[in-house]
Structure 1
Amino acid sequence: MTTVAAGERLAVSARQVTRAFDGREVLSGIELDIRRGEFVALLGRSGSGKSTLLRAMAGLDPRTGGRLLVPRKRAVVFQDPRLQPWKRVLENVVLGPPRAGARERGRAALAEVGLAGHERAWPATLSDGEAQRAALARALVREPELLLLDEPFGALDALTRLRMHALLRALCAAHRPAVLLVSHDVDEAILLADRILVLTEGRLGPARTVDLAGVRRRTDPAFARLRGELLAELGVTEEE
């Protein structure tokens, strides 16, 4: 994998990307471009290869085949916040090699995600939502050109998840990274993404562009229509 962006307008360029495990091909010739500042959601059933593709973009899987161009500056947020329990919140946010001004940027990032005043808190004292806010701050303090989100809100309760959706939209609007969100949640994808893709048997289906004018509202007929189309592509009925 080459860690150089594809061009001025592209943050990600994937060409014929493949990955196999024990002879079973999980990614089969993936072709995908993500523009700078674009938010792309990737849906798929469990085991479809969503997280495999995300890990390849993160540089965590050197055995991925094909051509994958991504920025050097990228960050990953997982479902588990992965905060180190023996370090206070600010130390978790600025984790890594010492960098000039890191602590100041860490405090600013914590304030941006609503955790001002929690700098010296221990991770064990945070709620699930607060811990995931700290994980977002840790990603943003690195000023990534590509933000990779692997079901970051999957373990949160419904109300906290809604608040995190609003926070993520605001953060992405402010920082404008390219974003790839891996999710099982069709509603979440429609609420957040500019473009939605479904991964089935290692291949990407046609992209669906989200109309920002109305689809963001669950009460809009276009929301229900797009939701139904995506569920059908996933092989799921409304009753399920």
Structure 2
Amino acid sequence: MASNDLDLGVWTRDLVRSFGERTILDRITLTIPPGQFVALLGRSGSGKSTLLRALAGLDHDVEGSGVLRVPAKTAVVFQDSRLLPWQRVLTNVLYGQPRARGAAGRALLSEVGLAGRERAWPSELSGGEQQRVALARALVGAPDLLLADEPFGALDALTRIRMHALLRDLVQRHTPTVLLVTHDADEAITLAQRVLVLDDGRLTLDLPIDLPAERDPGEPEFQRIRRTLLSALGVVPAAIR
């Protein structure tokens, strides 16, 4: 159902996805300009991953009165790195990219801090290193849209902080449009230029994030935005002080 969009952004109108009698996405209308970094925040079961799968072209049963437009060159990063265990790291980076050369794969591995690990097996890498390979694989084809479905959700806190800095640097360097699905308000504020809240299949909040590139969670404005997002998620005030 997805078609090419010449402006390399994302556009949906009245997007609907139902499973039996349950509506997961309820008339989603969304525009993401080219190059914008958007975080999609929501509770478990709110429809976040369903929307991402629709944008990725992995769900062909979405409906809508309009159309779903995304760039032709789209890449996805999942919470699980989904590396091929029987292939070495460089082969994993180049997998599915017939036009990508070994030099491009090695350059991306260097960018993600894994120079010299081209011939390693995935089992020899830590969880954070495997996600670095997944990011390199997603970017080696120079996508115009990068979709990330809770890519750091399985990592420990310190590794997540490092991965946030890495993703920020990679996006600045490669300039794709980004939609990051997360359930972590702090992660959304740390990385995104704009945060959407999805609740019961509907977009209930669309909040621009006007903060410096380097963001301090201790700053008053960061905390104000955090309270706004958590309130939109239904978190009671006593729990967010």
TM-score of the pair, normalised by structure 2 = 0.95
Q: Which runs of 4+ in 1 moved over 3 A?
A: none
Q: Superposition pairs for residues 193-204 of structure 1, below 5 Å?
A: 193-204=192-203
CA distance in 1, matches of 2:213, 2:191: 13
Q: 1:89 to 1:15 in 2, by over 3 A?
A: same
Q: 1:173 to 1:214 in 2, by over 3 A?
A: closer
Q: Superposition pairs for residues 162-173 of structure 1, below 5 Å?
A: 162-173=161-172
Q: Does 1:22 align with 2:20?
A: yes
Residue 31 of structure 1 corresponds to which residue in structure 2? 29
Aligned residues: CA RMSD: 1.4
> Alignment identity in percent?
60
Residue 187 of structure 2 corresponds to which residue in structure 1? 188
Alignment partner of 1:205: what SS?
strand
Q: Does 1:220 align with 2:232?
A: no
CA distance in 1, matches of 2:139, 2:213: 29
Q: Superposition pairs for residues 25-174 of structure 1, below 5 Å?
A: 25-66=23-64, 67-96=67-96, 98-99=98-99, 101-174=100-173
Q: Report deviation, 1:219.
A: 1.4
Q: 1:146 to 1:214 in 2, by over 3 A?
A: closer
Q: 1:215 to 1:44 in 2, by over 3 A?
A: farther
1:73 and 1:145 in contact (8 A); partners too: yes
Gapped runs of 5+ residues in structure 2? none
Range 214-223 or range 155-164, more displaced: 214-223
* Paired amino acid for 1:117: G
Alignment partner of 2:9: what SS?
strand
TM-score of the pair, normalised by structure 1 = 0.95
2:49 and 2:149 in contact (8 A); partners too: yes
2:52 and 2:149 in contact (8 A); partners too: yes
1:215 and 1:223 in contact (8 A); partners too: no
